Structure 1
């Protein structure tokens, strides 16, 4: 597969993930999905966690596409993407612990 196709798929999945986060934040309820049936989660933490994961996908993809490899901005986008990933995973753990 060509790299542009992979980037388009990653951006599309990131948009779907962001929509889940916006839904959780706007309605203050968890989305009714089959893979979210186990355990209770706080919708606010879950929404921010999912938005952080979506931002990881967007910054990781656009950092590779827009910047030239090895430049300072490319490394900055990579560090930002990793920070979004760590924040999203941390908020996901908090969402499970802070369930009402």
Structure 2
């Protein structure tokens, strides 16, 4: 689930099963079975929308016994443009302060 969340943070929206394959790839790279210059392919055969509840549970840190290290906690916002913009502005200001 962590590998899935990492991939999702790049703009992909993968299924949890592909996260398993990515996790295996990361382990093989860390153990140097796959070298940094090697080309590899991880095939994803489904879209993450089929697994939306597991993604919501991960991002909300509601999966028992899982740290959800890359969770991006959901924020509830009124369905109004100004409210959404206020939350985004606050988020971006906080992010700018950290860098």
Both structures adopt the same fold (TM-score exceeding 0.5) = no
**TM-score, length basis structure 1:** 0.29
Larger Rg: 2
With normalisation by structure 2, the TM-score equals 0.29
